[in-house]
Amino acid sequence: MKSTISGFHQDQLGDWVADLACGHTRHMRHDPPWQNREWITTPEGRTRFIGSVVECKVCAESGQEGHMTENEAARKREQQRIAQAVRAACLQAAIEAYEYAQIKGLCQEGAWDLAVDAVKTLDLDKVLEGLPG
């Protein structure tokens, strides 16, 4: 989620913290070579960044579901539908192969190999075609 910087303050350790328009805060450390923000150390630099757009992690985490558009929600439902269909098909293939192996009298290890093979070679196109509309 995007937010804008409305001001700055220092925390107890003297690190600079940006106040965001959304009411959250974000640390803006100048810690070279990992974080290079020399501008944060001067009043001019900080003034320059007021009003600039930054990513707010708190908003992104707390508002994920609530801020999803109808399109995004529909896309997620579709992805879940496909994922569930693939899981069901994998399970079915594994169970069928395992039962087949037991009927054929294969040992545990052989039955397991067959079940894993069945999942590996599962025809995904067929799974997708068979998706309930």
Binding site for Zn ion (CB under 5 A): 3, 22, 24, 56, 58-59
Q: Indicate the SS3 state at residue 122.
A: coil
Nearer residue to Zn ion within complex by CB, 5 or 111 = 5
CB of 63 to Zn ion, least distance (A): 8
CA dist., res. 51 & res. 3, Å (int): 9
CB of 5 to Zn ion, least distance (A): 11
Nearer residue to Zn ion within complex by CB, 56 or 101 = 56
Burial 105-114 (b: 16+ CB within 10 A, else e): eeeeeebeeb
CB of 73 to Zn ion, least distance (A): 21
CB of 57 to Zn ion, least distance (A): 8
Q: How many CA atoms lie within 13 A of 112 on its CB side?
A: 3
Q: Would the CA dihedral through 40, 45, 46, 48 be positive or negative?
A: negative
Nearer residue to Zn ion within complex by CB, 20 or 127 = 20
Helix 108-120 and helix 70-103, axial crossing angle in degrees, nearest 10: 150
Nearer residue to Zn ion within complex by CB, 24 or 46 = 24
